[in-house]
Amino acid sequence: MDLATLKEACSQYKKPTEFKPSYGTAGFRADASVLSSTVFRCGLLMAMRALKTGSVTGLVVTASHNPVEDNGVKLVEPTGYMLDQAWEVWANKLAAADDADDTCAVIQELFQAEDIPYGSGTVMLAHDTRPSADTLVKAAAAGVAAMGSLPIACGLLTTPQLHWMVRQCNARLKHKEKAYFEALATGYARLVSGTQALGEGLVVDCANGVGAAKLQVLADRLAPGMAAELRNTDGAEGRGLNESCGADFLQKERRLPAGFHDVPDGARCASLDGDADRLVYFRRHGSELELFDGDRIAVLAALLVMNILKMLPATEQQAPFTVGIVQTAYANGASTAYIKERLRAEVRLTPTGVKHLHAAAEEFDVGIYFEANGHGTVLFSAALVQRLHELGDESAPAKALLALVDMVNQAVGDALSGVLLVEAALRRKGWGLDQWAALYTDLPSRQLKVKVADRSVVATSHAETRVVSPAGLQLLIDDAVAAAPQGRAFVRPSGTEDVVRVYAEAASRAAADDLARAVARAVHATTAGVGPPP
Ligand code: G16
């Protein structure tokens, strides 16, 4: 690393004076026009992370479900997981540095504090369909190169694809995009072999994002075994991205996505988000939406895995492999009750953000984690995978589980592998949406967001179920909850938008709506809400 070159490069990426970047739920996110310095510095950071770990790291330029004018970065560990949380502090420090001198000072501090060896690392870069991608990928590459490291431009990819590629690369396994499709498609084919194809085809809302082109490749590979019709596939120059469509829109607004008012009533539909790391299923009843959210996908995945585990030889049942399901406070109470009472599986609650759920899921042999918004995956422990290999070809259930390990992205939640997971689970059970829906009935719930001057004034504890500040807000929430039959509500500052989020559920639709509004008004009153009260 040459200090003069580094300083010169840093001077090209000065932070806009008013901009105060902050590492949120899944990295940095803001209006794309102010982000170049942040993304450049994330390039610096991931080069240092590569040096520290002696492995390849990754960086995706994306703002996922946010509107097209936003952009952001997601940072990828050598394992394919999200950036080590201890390093988020460094990400913030670097992003906040005012000028080249400050930036270089933070770099030197980081080298010393983390005892980073000098040398040259490698960082894999990818981006989604946003028009600002070009400029920002260049900034990321400049950051990596300024550290004397090698940026590898992997081009247009879904976020989970890059996570998968980094993980595979460090494991010295095939890691090109072709290998990704191969792993998913062959895993699926092995898992559904001998089962009947589902009656009618799947219709997918691709949010006009990067998932459209990628899912098309997968669907072509699987045809005619899996018929999928893709809609909201435009995406050129970010056109229509997440606009009245996509998994986030469906889950928060509870409305049909654009372009779906003519699908046959009851047809099996799915929706991805802008960078294809979230998945929800749905069907249309007239103009109404019936949502099969992340909680329901988790339950289906648990049923699939637990059924197969039970088929393993008797010797494996003596000390059974542990299965755990990880949820957040957003999980519908009915899903949690079903998992505990009917599946008799362990449930863990963590704060919002895949980084928290993923860590908790790793504590089980099979850790199933899904946020209600559709972000999640199924993790298999190394010990379980090794045992399955030992059981080998003689054991059909071991083969099925190994197919799942290949098909389900082990690095991070992935809408494409999620589609295959749901389709395979339904096929193996011979189920349609009716049987899946009948497992339990969601409690009516409502989500609202309140615009506030500074979302950081809201602090929470107990996996975001209690408010610590501002003073008095939790008491107001408690009063509102007490007045609602089967009421439950919580608030948390968003980590991706300048809002405070409100979640409420209750015994009836009207009661859930009233509770959400009452809590939103309490937030507005205690946090200097922007605009009129909700
Ligand atoms: C990101 C995280 C998700 C999290 C979501 C919450 O999603 O990856 O784990 O659920 O943010 O967003 P907020 O903090 O605004 O409620 P994505 O899909 O936008 O990257």
Tens of pLDDT along 360-388?
999 999 999 999 999 999 999 999 999 99
Work out which ligand 1 atom sits closest to the CA atom of 159: 20
Could you report the per-residue pLDDT of 426-460, keeping only the tens digit for each? 999 999 999 999 999 999 999 999 999 888 999 99
Q: Which of 354, 207, 202 is nearest to 273 (CA)?
A: 207
Check whether 44 has a pLDDT greater than 80. yes
Residue 236 pLDDT > 90: no
Indicate which residue's Cα is closest to atom 8 of ligand 1.
Answer: 26
315 confidence band (pLDDT: 50, 70, 90): confident
Computed over every residue of the chain, the mean pLDDT equals 95
Pick the closest to residue 526 from 480, 486, 488 (CA basis).
Answer: 480
60-64, 198-202, 235-239: range with highest mean pLDDT: 60-64
User: What average pLDDT does the segment 38-62 reach?
Assistant: 98
Sorting pLDDT into bands at 50, 70 and 90, what band is 22? very high
Tokens of 214: 């990628």
- Give the catalytic positions in this structure: 64
Domains of the chain are: 3-156 (3.40.120.10), 182-291 (3.40.120.10), 295-413 (3.40.120), 445-526 (3.30.310.50)
Burial, 478: exposed, middle or buried (Cβ in 10 Å; 0-12, 13-18, 19+)?
A: middle
Question: Which residue's alpha carbon is at the smallest distance from atom 18 of ligand 1?
Answer: 64
* Residue 307: exposure state from Cβ atoms within 10 A (0-12, 13-18, ≥19): middle
Q: Return the closest-CA partner of residue 412 out of 159, 212, 73.
A: 159
Cis omega (within 30 of 0) for bond into 534: no
Provide the b/e sequence for 430-462 (b: ≥16 CB within 10 Å). Answer: ebebeebbebbebbbbbbbbbebeebeebebee
- Given pLDDT bands bounded at 50, 70 and 90, which one contains residue 25? confident
What percent of the chain is predicted at pLDDT more than 70? 100
Q: What is the mean pLDDT of residues 51-57?
A: 98
Mutate to test the pocket of ligand 1, among 496, 498, 501 (most ligand atoms within 8 A of CB): 496
Question: What pLDDT, on a 0 to 100 scale, did the predictor assign at position 313?
Answer: 83
Substitution site in 22, 23, 25 for ligand 1 pocket (most atoms within 8 Å of beta carbon): 25
State the first-to-last Cα distance of the chain, in angstroms, to the nearest integer. Answer: 53
pLDDT of residue 273 exceeding 80: yes
Q: Can you tell me the ipTM of this complex?
A: 0.95
Q: Is the pLDDT of residue 197 over 90?
A: no
Query: Residues 68, 208: contact at Cβ < 8 Å?
Result: no
pLDDT given at position 118: 93
310-318 mean pLDDT = 82
Q: How confident is the model at residue 2 (pLDDT cuts 50, 70, 90)?
A: confident
What residues contact residue 235 under an 8 Å CB cut-off, 6+ apart?
A: 129, 206, 208, 209, 210, 212, 213, 241
- Of 198 and 292, the one with more pLDDT: 292
| pTM, rounded to two decimals | 0.94
Report the pLDDT averaged over residues 410-432: 96
Predicted local confidence at residue 403, as pLDDT: 96
pLDDT for the residue numbered 174? 96
Q: Which residues of 255-365 form beta strands (DSSP E)? A: 269-272, 279-285, 288-292, 323-327, 346-349
Residue 394: band (very low, low, confident or very high) from pLDDT cuts 50, 70, 90: confident
- Binned at pLDDT 50, 70 and 90, residue 495 comes out as confident
CA of 312 to the centre of ligand 1 (A): 36
Whose alpha carbon is nearest atom 11 of ligand 1? Answer: 25
Nearest-angstrom CA–CA distance, 398 and 510 = 47
Ligand 1 pocket test, pick from 375, 456, 490 with the greatest ligand atom count within 8 Å of Cβ, gives 375
Q: CB within 6 Å of ligand 1 — which residues?
A: 25-26, 64-65, 273, 277-278, 352-354, 371, 373, 375, 494-497, 501
Residue 417 reports pLDDT greater than 90: yes
pLDDT of res. 430: 94
Give the pLDDT confidence score for residue 316 in this predicted structure: 78
Ligand 1 centre to CA of 280 (Å) is: 14
Each residue's pLDDT tens digit, 85-144? 999 999 999 999 999 999 999 999 999 999 999 999 999 999 999 999 999 999 999 999
275 CA closest ligand 1 atom index = 18
Q: Does 224 score more than 80 pLDDT? A: no
**Atom 16, ligand 1: residue with shortest CA distance:** 494
Contact 58, 165 (CB under 8 A): yes
- Spatial strand order in the sheet of 346-349: 346-349, 323-327, 366-370, 376-380
Rounded average pLDDT over 303-321 = 87
Distance 318 CA to ligand 1 centre (A): 39
CB 58 within 8 A of CB 75: yes
